[in-house]
A and B are shown apart, each in its own frame.
Chain A
Amino acid sequence: MVKSFIFGLLILIGVGHIEAQSCDDITSDALYFSAKATAESEESARLLAQDYLINQISTTVQSVSALTTTEISGEVTQDYVSTGTNVSSLRLKGLRHMVCSQNRRNNEVTVLVYIAMEDLESSARAVETQVREYFELMAMKEMIGAYSMTDVYFAYLHTFLSPLPISLEHNGRTINDAKTYLEVMLREHLNGLSFDFESITPGHAGMEEQYSISASIANADPGLNYNLHIPSLNARAVFRGGQGMLHVFMRPAAPKETINGYLTFGAGRIPAEVQEVANLRVFSRSMSITLDFSQVISVDFTTELQADHVVATPRLAHVSPRSFSWEMGNQRLSNDQILRVPRENVTGPIRLVINDNQALSVRKTIDGDVVQMNAEAPPESENSLKLSSAHAAHFENLSHFSELQKVLAQLRRGGLAVWGNKTDFVNPNTCWVLLVDPQTEQVQYVLSPHHRGRTDIKSGQTFNEVGEQFKGLIAIWVDFI
């Protein structure tokens, strides 16, 4: 590290020519940007002066550096309070330097670094060409309906290499500052993203508090990586191609838990020349995420007769019990974890409510017959099933067959789904089933698949299988890809 003795930095823009080639001439010439620095070696002084010059140019065009400015003896002295921007990434061709003075006694060298306005403009033009190519690429991709946010991102990063603002024409309109334009696009993209949590799988025995949550991001650009960070759970997940898996350690106290996190994005292969910019310019968005644990939570209890008492013991899975409430009809029997009550007092089914949440309750007779169970038990063989909420959106509000035809055609064009008869599918259990009345041509049922059968999203009714009850209706089986 250099032990620097910086006496000052002079950023001077003067008027005149460079014929004399002296430091003073250059600093007073309006055709040059220049910066001066003093250090104990020429190399150190040159690097410092170069940093200052780049900062100055960057500040001139971007106003991103925080500066305090004081007027001393007619000269402007600038103290750099905070930089922390990407200014060192500026592409500057034609940068030159000269030694202004050397003080051997104090071991000090003062160096002037400068660049001609003409070279500055030439550097800007070189970057502009590159940014224009990205805009052209964006336009080409937009025309074929392909994602182009990666190109927007790369174009944005490249704008930071230009010492001057970039203006160009795009889709018939003039963009005065490409950087701002692209930044708005990127922010809108980030704000438009939404998560669809598709399944929650608990860890194996001994790791029950670990959950693997597979999710997809709607409107994700396949070329970008999205990073989800949930600080409270110290969990991170990377979504590539819009798909990812979040691993969290937690014990839910309710079927639906909301957690807070933030989302950023980046790209897998960032061009080397803008890697530094990418490290410094991070877009982030905070978000609340609701995780649905109802598919893994199980609330149950066992009963046994001990002498003339009934003893009920909770059997819980994947839920953190904070309170117990044993009830019979409108009567509260106990808030203890284990219920012990005289047999003669039990005149009806007993209900166990966990955490005062009716969604976590079970009502049973003392013979073990389940009367009502509100928290879903995990399926025996498959803990992971599609929630299909994103898919349901396609079929909501469908009434006539002609509307269904349009939706199916759209899904096909987008490569999102295939459909046919039941026998066309290897695993029809995962298919949606749409049932149409041939008399009225009305869509009667839209059955979504889940691990216990199917639920009609129109009426909320649940069916174990698609069978006799739908006799006379025409069934179209749809599998999302």
Chain B
Amino acid sequence: MGRFYIAVLMVLMTIGTTAQNRTQIILRNVDGSAVQNNVQNNAQLFINAANIASASEQGIQWDDIDVTDNARDRVDALWQTSPFRCTETRMTTNLLRLPGNRFQVRQIPVVVVKDRVEQELVLNFSAVGALEDVYFGIEQHRYSNLLAEGRDLRDFRRRQMILDFIENFRTAYNRKDLDMLEMTFSENALIIVGRVLQETERGFDGMASLDDRQVELIRFNKQQYMENLRGVFRRNAFVNVTFDDIEIVQHGHHNDIYGVNLKQTWRSSTYGDEGYLFLMIDFEDEDQPLIHVRAWQPEKDTPMKEVIKLGDFDIVK
């Protein structure tokens, strides 16, 4: 009876509560090659190392895992704020191909231990099957829908790259990865933050309008934004950022420029909010995409028609 109530609670809260340390990962489309077997083996070793580490509240033991230095550093940083464990004992998924003969495994369900938020983990592997990046992905059906809009192979690859970039960008907040965020913004990046004005101006009849709360848009430069972020990271034990309702638009003339509109939910130890986030991303250098504009507006007080979009900017390149 008690188990049943727990199960009901699980359904209602959509949070896994069972603890286990062993997860079997089956990649249904591996071709049996040494590289792909290496990917499957590494994926399983990593997830099980994470399960053990989260149960023992210690760091991940990397001994048997083929991992790049960069990936190890990033996961260790992520582990400081957002340790997680896989909620499945056995999971089957596809091995995906990335540009450059790299591989990806998506849709690994994990629970972040501190705030009990469910995430879907993404593992990237190098051309030889070494783990080279780990981040929290957007929900699979949203990911699929955005990629399904890819008109041709090139457009598909670009969208894949944008989503990977966005997922990595988002996880950088969880990791409190100031270095990565600093690299992501261009030197002259325009940062816009919407702030709700406490009192609205009075109308001609002297009556304040309760419905017309105004949002003031404040501009920051990259240095100011990074300084603010540094303070936020210092004050909060954890930061968890999620992205929803992602829309990707390619610029009509500048094919390397993309506008990404999404809904951002920010949860941290001391603060939480929801807002519309706009990113103007330049993929001229596909290995190092740059954000030229980041604009955040509070969801509650921003009508849809006032949400900042790619079309609001004149681009001179």
Which residues of A pack against B, CB within 8 Å? Answer: 133-134, 136-137, 140-141, 143-148, 222-223, 269, 401-402, 404-405, 408, 412-415, 419-421, 436, 438-439, 441, 474, 476
Q: Judging by beta carbons under 8 Å apart, are A222 and B145 in contact?
A: yes
A439 to B4, CA, bound (A): 9
Instruction: Choose, from B34-42, B150-158, B197-205, B229-237, the stretch at the interface.
Output: B150-158
Q: Judging by beta carbons under 8 Å apart, are B151 and A269 in contact?
A: yes
Q: Judging by beta carbons under 8 Å apart, are A144 and B147 in contact?
A: yes
**Contact for B142 among A269, A402, A415, A438, CB less than 8 A:** A415
**Contact for A436 among B8, B14, B96, B151, CB less than 8 A:** B8
Q: Judging by beta carbons under 8 Å apart, are A474 and B148 in contact?
A: no
A420 to B96, CA, bound (A): 33
B5 at the A interface (CB under 8 A): yes
Contacts of B94 in A (CB 8 A): 143-144
A476 to B106, CA, bound (A): 30
Query: A143-B96, A145-B140, A438-B5 are contacts. A419–B147 as well, Cβ < 8 Å?
Result: no
Q: Judging by beta carbons under 8 Å apart, are A474 and B8 in contact?
A: yes
Which label, helix, strand, loop or mixed, suits the secondary structure of the A interface? mixed
Contacts of B148 in A (CB 8 A): 141, 146-148, 222-223
Which label, helix, strand, loop or mixed, suits the secondary structure of the B interface? helix
Contacts of B144 in A (CB 8 A): 141, 144-146
| Nearest CB in chain B: distance from A136 CB, A | 6
Residue of B nearest to A130 (CB): B152
B11 at the A interface (CB under 8 A): yes
Q: Which of A144, A408, A436, A439: most chain B CB closer than 10 A?
A: A144
A6 to B95, CA, bound (A): 61
Q: Judging by beta carbons under 8 Å apart, are A146 and B145 in contact?
A: yes
Contacts of A476 in B (CB 8 A): 8, 11-12
Residue of A nearest to B151 (CB): A269
| Nearest CB in chain B: distance from A418 CB, A | 9
Q: Which of A140, A146, A402: most chain B CB closer than 10 A?
A: A146
A-B contact pairs, 28 of them (CB 8 A): A137-B152, A137-B153, A137-B156, A140-B156, A141-B144, A141-B147, A141-B148, A141-B150, A143-B29, A143-B95, A144-B144, A145-B140, A146-B144, A222-B145, A222-B148, A222-B149, A269-B151, A401-B4, A401-B8, A405-B7, A412-B14, A413-B141, A419-B11, A419-B12, A436-B8, A438-B8, A441-B4, A476-B11
| Nearest CB in chain A: distance from B1 CB, A | 7
Q: Judging by beta carbons under 8 Å apart, are B152 and A133 in contact?
A: yes
Contacts of B11 in A (CB 8 A): 404-405, 408, 419, 476
Contacts of B141 in A (CB 8 A): 145, 413-415
Q: Judging by beta carbons under 8 Å apart, are B4 and A438 in contact?
A: yes
Residue of A nearest to B144 (CB): A146
Contacts of A137 in B (CB 8 A): 150, 152-153, 156
Contact with A along B273-315 (1 / 0, CB 8 A): 0000000000000000000000000000000000000000000
Q: Judging by beta carbons under 8 Å apart, are B147 and A133 in contact?
A: no
Interface residues on B, range: 20 to 34
A3 to B205, CA, bound (A): 80
B251 at the A interface (CB under 8 A): no
B143 at the A interface (CB under 8 A): yes
| Nearest CB in chain B: distance from A438 CB, A | 6
Q: Judging by beta carbons under 8 Å apart, are A420 and B12 in contact?
A: yes
Q: Which of A145, A419, A474: most chain B CB closer than 10 A?
A: A145
- 13 other A-B residue contacts (CB within 8 Å) besides A143-B96, A438-B1, A476-B12: A133-B152, A136-B153, A140-B153, A141-B147, A141-B156, A143-B95, A144-B106, A146-B145, A146-B148, A223-B149, A401-B7, A408-B11, A476-B11
Mark out the residues of chain B between 76 and 94 whose CB falls within 8 Å of any chain A CB in the assembled complex: 94
* 3 nearest A-B residue pairs (beta carbon): A146-B148, A415-B141, A146-B144
Mark out the residues of chain B between 224 and 276 whose CB falls within 8 Å of any chain A CB in the assembled complex: none
Q: Judging by beta carbons under 8 Å apart, are A133 and B153 in contact?
A: yes
A144 to B163, CA, bound (A): 13
Residue of A nearest to B94 (CB): A143
| Nearest CB in chain B: distance from A419 CB, A | 7
Contacts of A419 in B (CB 8 A): 11-12
Mark out the residues of chain B between 91 and 119 whose CB falls within 8 Å of any chain A CB in the assembled complex: 94-97, 106
Contacts of A441 in B (CB 8 A): 4
Contacts of B140 in A (CB 8 A): 144-145, 413
Contacts of A404 in B (CB 8 A): 11
A149 to B8, CA, bound (A): 38
B139 at the A interface (CB under 8 A): yes
Mark out the residues of chain B between 139 and 186 whose CB falls within 8 Å of any chain A CB in the assembled complex: 139-145, 147-153, 156
A436 to B7, CA, bound (A): 12
A134 to B5, CA, bound (A): 50
Residue of A nearest to B4 (CB): A441
A133 to B151, CA, bound (A): 11
Contacts of A474 in B (CB 8 A): 8
A125 to B142, CA, bound (A): 36
A474 to B9, CA, bound (A): 11
Contacts of A420 in B (CB 8 A): 12
| Nearest CB in chain A: distance from B186 CB, A | 30
Contacts of A269 in B (CB 8 A): 151
Contacts of B147 in A (CB 8 A): 140-141, 144, 146
A11 to B145, CA, bound (A): 50
A148 to B156, CA, bound (A): 12
Contacts of A436 in B (CB 8 A): 8
Residue of B nearest to A424 (CB): B12
Contacts of B97 in A (CB 8 A): 140, 143
| Nearest CB in chain A: distance from B10 CB, A | 8
Mark out the residues of chain B between 106 and 137 whose CB falls within 8 Å of any chain A CB in the assembled complex: 106
| Nearest CB in chain B: distance from A436 CB, A | 7
A304 to B178, CA, bound (A): 83
A277 to B95, CA, bound (A): 36
Contacts of B95 in A (CB 8 A): 143
Contacts of B151 in A (CB 8 A): 269
